[in-house]
Amino acid sequence: MWDNGSESYGLFEHQLNEFKGIQVTRLIQDYYAADPRRGFYGGGAIDARFDFYPAGFALDGLPDDIPKWGLGYKQAVGEYFTRTMTLLSHATSLPLEKNSISLDPTLKDDWGLPATRITFDLHPDDMATMKWLVEREREILEAAGAKKIWSFPIEVTTSRHLMGTCRMGTNPGKSVVDSFGNAHDVPNLFIVDGSNFVTSARQQPTATIQALAYRAADHIARKARAGDLG
């Protein structure tokens, strides 16, 4: 599963200087729950953030109607960088059986080992969720007084938050680790990260991963004191 999301930007009349504060400054969970009336399954959180340094913003943060070079481009970077606010959603990513990570049967890496092969596609409801959240982002920016709003295309992008592939569960035939992250078929092998998730987070999953790690560590410590670790 993927940390799906959508992103919209708003240009304001006055300087916001979002680059000076902490990266994520505000977060709302108003749209976290799924609602059948929307016609699709899913929801998400929306946070306000600014991920850019000046060079990165100049390359990737400006709207499409800005000149790509010359004086107009330089002036736009100077105006937009200090006056732009970004809204980013973290949305549902439905687990699909066809999505998987495996070893490529022919392709090798630089060390001669089988290369990782990632097979992934978005569920149609994931796409619908992100498009719906873009509309909410634009509504928020408009209500906040943005004089110009633009959004980025809905697509699979890079992410730091990957989930699934080492599913947590009680049935060894349908999961990889137990409720403490202990692999069903390898004694004393504990896997504690986003791969344990059985559904995606609709927000950044780090805090949940940390909670599972503390729980696993406590379990390992108890087993060690009882002499149950090999």
Please spell the DSSP secondary structure of 84-135, one letter per residue.
Answer: EEEEEEEE-----TT-EEEEEEEEE-TTSSEEEEEE----HHHHHHHHHHHH
Given the residues 14, 123, 161, 184, the one annotated as active site: 161
Active site residue 161: yes
Measured distance CA(102)–CA(142) in Å, rounded? 45
**Rg (the chain; Cα; Å):** 22
Q: Which residues pair with 118 in a beta bridge?
A: 101
Say what the alpha-carbon torsion angle 136, 137, 142, 147 is, to the nearest 10 degrees. -150
Please name which of 5, 76, 7 lies closest in space to residue 42, comparing C-alpha atoms: 5
Measured distance CA(120)–CA(164) in Å, rounded? 12
Measured distance CA(132)–CA(120) in Å, rounded? 22
Catalytic residues: 161
